[in-house]
Amino acid sequence: MCGRYTLIASPEALRAQFGYEEQPDFPPRYNIAPAQPIAIVRLIDGRRQFALVRWGLLPSWVKDPKAFSLLLNARGETVLEKPAFRAAMRRRRCLIPADGFYEWEATSERKRPYYVRAKSGKPLAFAGLWETWTGPNGEELETATIVTTRANALLAPIHDRMPVIIPPEAFDLWLDCTKVDAQTAAALITPAPEDLLEVIPVSTDVNRTANDNPKLVEPAAEIAEPAPAPKPAAKRASPKRAKKDNGQGALF
């Protein structure tokens, strides 16, 4: 699962990497959380377009959005069949720019956060799906979800899932829903190469969505496992008094 991520590259750097014409100006984000606006890149009329949508997919057939749970992630193994995702997989694939994402490792004490980013320091492109929901009064809401896959060997000790990361040379293959069918695009749903990423332990400050600052991605000291509690000292046995010999041999 991917439930938090960052987008801290400059607008100019993202525009150059993703190739859209818009010139949005946005601040760095160090703790993007569900239901917040997120940046996506999609293909509209043959050109790449930057857009802001809500994180948490809302399928077009939903009657009451308040009664529908946010779909933050779409499992890549079933994205072609699940009713919530199959139409978007065929017609509305997108890229979700990110500089890295957070995962939590369960320990005996509490969940320990890690930040995962590219070794190169360059932004990543998550595979995404987007939808437009239209309300009874004609209001529209655009939403998106992150496609996930099984974790690679680097991340498996921390979590069993990870976002699908699309390499730059495959951007068009994922985005072009007119020329590339869903089955072909699904071939990109694989774990990222181990040598692409690095994992950094970070502070538990990231647990609070209100925290959004550069310190969240700074390396934190590894938390040592608590030492086992010392065993209670064994009670010393009281010395036994010698039994008076009554002249008979001991039977036991």
Instruction: Decide if 103 is catalytic.
Output: yes
Catalytic residue among 12, 22, 81, 103: 103
Catalytic residue among 2, 94, 131, 177: 2
CA distance 83 to 223: 42
Q: H/E/C letters for each residue in 52-75?
A: EEEECECCCCCCCHHHCCCECEEE
CA distance 86 to 64: 20
Q: H/E/C letters for each residue in the chain?
A: CCCCEEECCCHHHHHHHHCCCCCCCCCCEEEECCCCEEEEEEEECCEEEEEEEEECECCCCCCCHHHCCCECEEECCCCCCCCCCHHHHHHCEEEEEECEEEEEEECCCCEEEEEEEECCCCCEEEEEEEEEEECCCCCEEEEEEEEEEECCCCCCCCCCEEECECCHHHHHHHHCCCCCCHHHHHHHCCCCCHHHEEEEECCHHHHCCCCCCHHHHCCCCCCCCCCCCCCCCCCCCCCCCCCCCCCCCCCC
Contact 151, 159 (CB under 8 A): yes
**Catalytic residue positions?**
2, 103
